[in-house]
Amino acid sequence: MRAESSRALIGRQAEIRHLEALLGAARRGKGGVLVLRGEPGTGKSALLAYTRSAASGFLVLDGTGVECETELPFAALHRMCMPVLGRLGGLPGTHRAALEVAFGVAPGVPDPFRIGLAVLELLGGEARQRPLVGLVDDTHWLDDASARAMAFVARRIATVPVALVFAEYPSGPAQELPGLVLGGLGEAAARTLLSTAIRAPLDDRVRERVLAEARGNPLALLELPRTGGFEPPAASAVSRRIERGFLARAAELGPEVRLLLTLASAEPTGDAGLLWRAGHRLGITGAARNAAEGSGLIEIGTRVRFCHPVARSAIYRAAEAEWRHTAHRVLAEVTDPLTDPDRRAWHRAQAGTGPDEDVAAELERCASHARARGGMAATAAFLERAAALSLDPGRRTERTLAAARATLDAGATETAAELLGTVLAGTLDDHRRAEADRLRGRIAFTRKRDGEGPSLLLRAAGRLAGHEPERARDCLLEALEMGLVLGAGEVLDLVLATARVAPPPAHRPDMLAALVVLLTEGHRVATPLLRRVLTGHEGAEWVRRPTLAALLAVELWDLGTHDDVTQWLLKVGREDGVPAKVGLGLAHVAASAAHVGELDRAEAAIAEAEALDGVFCGTPWEYSRLHVSALRGRRKEALGLIEAAVAKARGEGRAIANANWAAAVLHNGLADYPAALAAARRATADGDLVFAGMALPELVEAAVRCGEPAEAGAALESLTERAEAGGTAWGLGVASYARALATGEEEHYRAAVGHLAEGTMIPYRGRAHLLYGEWLRRERRGRGAREHLRVAHELLSRAGMEAFAQRAAAELRATGEPPGSGSPRAGGPLTTQELRIARLVATGATSREVAGRLFLSPRTIDAHLRSIFRKLGITSRRQLRDLSGGVLGD
């Protein structure tokens, strides 16, 4: 639609105003993003062309998606960044290295989060010289890695002079970004465009038919009159008729010109030199180039551009198979195997007419490269094509299963299911049948969250038990993990029964064996085995199941081991370029921070996990969000989150247990003991791993306060077994104050305070002093009560546990002593990051602007601000500005 870009855009004045406002803001130093959404032909590309022409003084970056590149990770991002890669050497080392890995310049595994920050810094550095505008057409053809990185950047450009404009179909990948929906033109504008475009006389009946057929679609109004004939309106969609208009124009050209167009449509990079080298091999002449450009379908300069993305795809799909194969064969021949091996292999794969084991093996190697660069979608695409080209049925099956596994890891559950559906039963031995069952089980669990997933895993384990017992046990462990998430007792029983047919390895500790003992014989017997799994690195058993290992560490009340697993998970997630692992690690960081009373740090980790969730993947940060909100004790906020979590849980036992544990903590803090008792009963009912154990002290406290001593005693017995088996100061301290509540014996209060005195578990130490102080006051021992209640109020206030701190304050007042200020500055001095944020906010910058400057999310900034306010004893940004010359320094 390049021809239209040279004339005024008719009927798009509102959209033009939005684009001009975006460019104007960028000229003033404020970045922004706008997504143009619409069906093919509605003018998205024309508006991009208009933006290009209107961006005087801007550096224009092109990140358009190309169909042939969808499998090559970071291909579109690399193309967009090429004009500014000269600044790569000026980036900090970690950011420069991240982009070098992403763009294939250096070996390694990309870190998606760091790549997004590096691109933001790269663009920001160039934008200090002149504003930038990035134009991204056909987002549905972006490779997955580029799409995620561009979305990451788009959310963080508020404070740099960068404008991004995306064009996509209505259901494209950039749905969460702000945008405009382009419909058809109004009747008056459609008539004006038609009369402007068609200079020759047009029969009135033909004009009316064109207007009716086009339905206001600008490209249809330009292309349909060229075809000379029309089909009934119901025969095909407007977009299909537009394609036919381009094809009709191409059909008028000679064979040599059409071959050149096919060659250009198969070459996704727009590299004119590559196109001419390939054309030279095919004997294509300069006359063919002139004719191709004269048709208006293509423009060949330093870059090769089609008049519209629809024209490229239409010409490619309509070309004879022999011509497409020839084009890809020649492009493979002229592509450098050293600098661009993946694209060369892909061209080779598209050039053949039948199976070719050499090409299949090359594609398999490319899949390994793509996996190393974090491109799971590319890995799956290479393996799928390798399977299609495999001569040997067994190799085809092996590669198809590998493609399905990679596709599932990339998050494309339905595509993975379709791939599995192509596997022929006759090519499956027990090993491959088990792998197929395992993949189907993972798919079923993702889709339905019911017992079908674990059942398929159990079937896979049964196939493997006789000759591959270790793989069988791995399947059983995965089924057990699913069962624990679902809270399905029958699934757990089946796993325990089946585990007997596959003996544990003798050479290393085994997580499945430890879990079986835990579920059948209890914590005292199982804890030594669990300790070996979690701390004995023979075979690094927990490395394969780090999430389960982190949960088991908390089950043993062992925060040190939990932190070790968490840091490993974060490290490996960043090294492997797997955002899901990074998100899981951040969720566990948030959990640890909440347990030690660093609620601001917990919220910062949650905010970072949310940023990854919004751009890269889904993560279980919601669990920590509930816990933090409950500890803060803000009834309305916490109950809203809890209710939403229960509604979203779809019957999953762990999610429901977590929500009820959070509710029990909340209500105990608010001294609403009947509500706390009901929630704690629900949290402990199914014996969920971690959450049931963590809810036991809440159940003891609520039951004691509600006059249910038998229930408190049963909960205490279970808690004591867990805490004594774990043997940590955290567990023993919590069990001691629960026993003190149940028995009223002072020695247990003292024991609780003693166990927790030296550790970092501020919430639990504060609660131990609170409970002891409450007991002393009821015993009319005012002096001792005041001493412990002061400590409790100090600790709980410092942690931001408002409801529990208010309980301590009320108790202090009952002893005749007014509570202190809660030591608003007791959190210590501002950290370096907090100081940077405070200084920026003091200048009047918004959270979004500060986030863009510091490469963080606005939620992370808000979380830090809460910590800053608490430490400085203030409540508003205005007060922060008043402090800017003193506490904050220069």
Instruction: Read off the pLDDT of residues 154-201 as tens digits, 9 standing for 90 and up.
Output: 887 877 899 999 998 776 666 667 888 887 777 787 777 777 766 555
DSSP output for 587-598: HHHHHHHHHTT-
pTM score over 0.85: no
Nearest to 75 by CA among 9, 147, 171: 147
Residue 696 domain-assigned (yes or no): no
Residue 241 domain-assigned (yes or no): yes
Distance CA 113, CA 610 (A): 12
User: Residue 822: its pLDDT value, please?
Assistant: 47
Residue 28 domain-assigned (yes or no): yes
Distance CA 283, CA 516 (A): 71
Which amino acid is residue 459, in one-letter code? R
Range with lowest mean pLDDT among 257-261, 481-485, 550-554: 481-485
Q: In what helix (H) or strand (E) does residue 166 lie, and over which residues does it extend?
A: strand 162-168
For residues 216 and 69, state if they share a domain.
no
- Domain-ending residue, one of 784, 801, 822: 822
Q: Retrieve residue 278's tokens.
A: 């390939």
Place of tokens 């949650």: 606
Residue 836 domain-assigned (yes or no): yes
Distance CA 681, CA 703 (A): 10
Q: What share of the chain is helix, strand, coil (3-state, %, to 5)?
A: 70, 5, 25
Across 564-599, b (16+ Cβ under 10 Å) vs e yields bbbebbbebbbebbbbbbbbbbbbbbbbbbbbbbbb
Number of domains, the chain: 5
Which amino acid is residue 173, in one-letter code? P
* Angle between helices 430-448 and 452-464 in degrees, nearest 10: 170
For residues 142 and 165, state if they share a domain.
yes
For residues 796 and 862, state if they share a domain.
no
Residue 89 domain-assigned (yes or no): yes
Q: Tens digits of per-residue pLDDT, 330-369?
A: 999 998 888 788 888 888 888 876 788 888 888 888 887 7
- Domain-ending residue, one of 782, 798, 822: 822
pLDDT at residue 720 above 70? yes
Q: What is the CATH number of the domain that holds 167?
A: 3.40.50.300
Distance CA 725, CA 729 (A): 12
Which amino acid is residue 188, in one-letter code? A
Expressed as residue numbers, the domain containing 271 is 253-351
For residues 39 and 171, state if they share a domain.
yes
For residues 203 and 218, state if they share a domain.
yes
For residues 19 and 96, state if they share a domain.
yes
- 296 torsion bin: left (phi>0), alpha (psi -120 to 50), beta (else): left
For residues 38 and 140, state if they share a domain.
yes
For residues 129 and 273, state if they share a domain.
no
3-class SS of residue 303: strand
- Burial of residue 803 (CB within 10 Å: 0-12, 13-18, 19+) is buried
Place of tokens 């810094």: 121
For residues 23 and 142, state if they share a domain.
yes
Output DSSP code: residue 830.
P
Question: Across-strand partners of 38?
Answer: 182
Q: Tens digits of per-residue pLDDT, 63-108?
A: 888 766 777 788 889 889 989 888 888 887 878 888 888 887 777 7
Nearest to 562 by CA among 581, 587, 538: 587
Output DSSP code: residue 271.
B
User: Residue 681: its pLDDT value, please?
Assistant: 95
pLDDT at residue 234 above 70? no
Provide mean pLDDT across the span 46-56: 91
User: Residue 579: its pLDDT value, please?
Assistant: 63
Range with lowest mean pLDDT among 462-476, 779-793, 795-809: 462-476
For residues 167 and 269, state if they share a domain.
no
Position 205 confidence tier, pLDDT thresholds 50, 70, 90:
low
Residue 614 domain-assigned (yes or no): no
DSSP output for 27-62: HTT--EEEEEEESTTSSHHHHHHHHHHH-TTPEEEE
Which amino acid is residue 279, in one-letter code? G
- Domain-ending residue, one of 195, 214, 249: 249
Residue 363 domain-assigned (yes or no): no
* Angle between helices 709-726 and 523-535 in degrees, nearest 10: 40
pLDDT at residue 404 above 50? yes
For residues 220 and 148, state if they share a domain.
no
User: Residue 236: its pLDDT value, please?
Assistant: 37
Residue 143 domain-assigned (yes or no): yes
Contact status, residue 763 vs residue 801, Cβ threshold 8 Å: yes
For residues 35 and 162, state if they share a domain.
yes
Say how many CA atoms lie within 13 Å of 835 toward its Cβ: 11
